[in-house]
Amino acid sequence: MNVKAICQRCKESFNVSEENLVYQKEFMYDGQSIFLTYFDCPKCGRRHFVQIDDQKSKELLERCKRDFVSLSIAKSKGHKAIKNNRRKKFDAERKYLSKFRSELAKEYSGRQVMDLETGNIFVLLFSKF
């Protein structure tokens, strides 16, 4: 999946894909682990945080993945009634996960977090693209 992004600092336009620029890392806030997804501008290096997860959202994501697999299996076997019920459940869980992540981003935006690899502390700001 490729997404077009524009750097908020230098205004460079570039493609972001999971293969080349997207990273996920664990950070710490007030003794609690959070997991941030981000990409860096290839021109100026500015870090753009785009998604946040905590333990609860990671569990919700795993449940969505399991339901997606179950839905795919039902579809491949032609079970329309089961597929429709599972599809509704999957769509509801996916919407809830998205809303939950959005609330996490609002809650943590502007907070100081620590990069567990480097020990650096910085203010967390989320990018929109």
Instruction: Tell me the pLDDT band of 35, cut-offs 50, 70 and 90.
Output: very high
Between 17 and 19, the more confident residue is 17
Strands of the 112-115 sheet, one edge to the other = 47-53, 32-40, 22-29, 112-115, 121-123
| pTM given for the model | 0.82
Model confidence over 85-116: pLDDT tens digits?
778 889 999 999 999 999 999 999 999 999 99
Which structure tokens are listed for 98?
């998205």
Does a structural domain hold residue 129? no
Does a structural domain hold residue 81? yes
pLDDT at 13 over 80: yes
Average pLDDT score over residue span 40-62: 94
Q: How far is it, in rounded angstroms, from Cα 27 to Cα 47?
A: 14
Closest CA to 49 of 39, 35, 41, 34: 39
Range of the domain at 97: 2-123
What local confidence, expressed as pLDDT, does residue 81 receive? 65
Does a structural domain hold residue 36? yes
Does a structural domain hold residue 38? yes
Average pLDDT score over residue span 57-78: 88
Q: How far is it, in rounded angstroms, from Cα 36 to Cα 104?
A: 11
Q: How many domains does the chain have?
A: 1
Q: How far is it, in rounded angstroms, from Cα 102 to Cα 107?
A: 9
Does a structural domain hold residue 128? no
Per DSSP, the chain holds a count of helices (H) and strands (E) of 2, 7
